[in-house]
């Protein structure tokens, strides 16, 4: 699957500790996981399809590193994998796009490296229009706290000029256009790692907790709400 990378870049906009809820039952856009606790690299790609396309056939040649996928967490559908339309998220221009990254680590590990995070824009027919990468293709070393959902990172586009030109214009992006993600993490001792795409201009979506997260819902949802309200303080 081919497409050149574009000038608009993905940048880290903020961090938040949300006390173990993770995304609850909120649909992930991409989840990757390795086997056991000794995986050095995890990578995953997905693309629109029925079922959702995964692995090498879904990876963009515009990714900042060469990916083949293969660590996508099953099933290839919600809640672990999703390719939302702009309309389903209420997104009308690229400045509203946020990508939340939930890093999961066991107690023995406190960091990982995000080698690649690529946002892909497709039209409603599934044709790849553009791929947007981490700024300068530079990997990021991220500190984590032990456990699911303890460290969440928010990413967005530093400029949406090219994105908006591809989707139909500022405030008029085509509702049927589709978003998908490619990613790679290394120095990872656990997993799964998950990303979800949100509309930063909309209210925080409600967290419907997984059973293990029921008692921790309050602190987690409030933490994420604060992150979005603060407009992603660095």
**Mean predicted lDDT score pLDDT of the chain:** 79
Please tell me the distance from the alpha carbon of residue 121 to that of residue 166, in angstroms, as a whole number.
Answer: 8
Instruction: Indicate the length of the chain as a whole number.
Output: 234
pLDDT-derived band at 214, boundaries 50, 70, 90? very low
Rounded to the nearest 5 degrees, what angle is found at the Cα of 136, between the Cα atoms of 64 and 102? 70
Which helix (H) or strand (E) element contains residue 167? helix 161-167
Q: Work out the average pLDDT over 19-35.
A: 74
pLDDT-derived band at 79, boundaries 50, 70, 90? confident
CA dihedral 30, 63, 71, 200 (to 10 degrees): -20
pTM of the model: 0.83
Q: Work out the average pLDDT over 95-113.
A: 80
Cα–Cα separations (whole angstroms), residue 6 to 46, 120, 125, 164, 232: 19, 10, 21, 12, 23
Residue 132: per-residue pLDDT:
95
Residue 60: per-residue pLDDT:
95
Residue 211: per-residue pLDDT:
39
Give the burial class of 205: count Cβ atoms within 10 A of its Cβ; 0-12 exposed, 13-18 middle, 19 or more buried: middle
Residue 229: per-residue pLDDT:
47
Residue 35: per-residue pLDDT:
64
């Amino acid at each position: 699957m081919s497409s050149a990378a574009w000038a608009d870049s993905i940048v880290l906009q903020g961090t938040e500790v949300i006390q173990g809820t993770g995304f609850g039952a909120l649909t992930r856009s991409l989840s990757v996981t390795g086997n056991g606790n000794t995986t050095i690299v995890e990578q995953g790609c997905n693309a629109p399809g029925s079922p959702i396309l995964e692995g090498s056939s879904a990876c963009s040649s515009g990714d900042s590193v060469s990916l083949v996928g293969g660590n996508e967490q099953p099933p290839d559908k919600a809640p672990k994998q999703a390719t939302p339309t702009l309309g389903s998220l209420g997104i009308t221009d690229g400045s509203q796009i946020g990508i939340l990254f939930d890093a999961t680590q066991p107690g023995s590990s406190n960091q990982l490296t995000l080698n690649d995070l690529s946002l892909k824009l497709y039209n409603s027919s599934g044709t790849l229009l553009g791929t947007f990468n981490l700024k300068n293709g530079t990997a990021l070393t991220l500190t984590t706290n032990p456990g699911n959902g303890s460290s969440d990172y928010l990413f967005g586009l530093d400029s949406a000029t090219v994105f908006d030109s591809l989707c139909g214009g500022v405030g008029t992006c085509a509702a049927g256009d589709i978003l998908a993600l490619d990613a790679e993490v290394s120095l990872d001792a656990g997993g799964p790692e998950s990303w979800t795409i949100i509309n930063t201009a909309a209210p925080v979506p409600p967290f419907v907790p997984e059973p293990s997260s029921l008692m921790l819902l309050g602190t987690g949802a409030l933490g994420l709400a604060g992150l979005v309200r603060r407009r992603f303080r660095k």
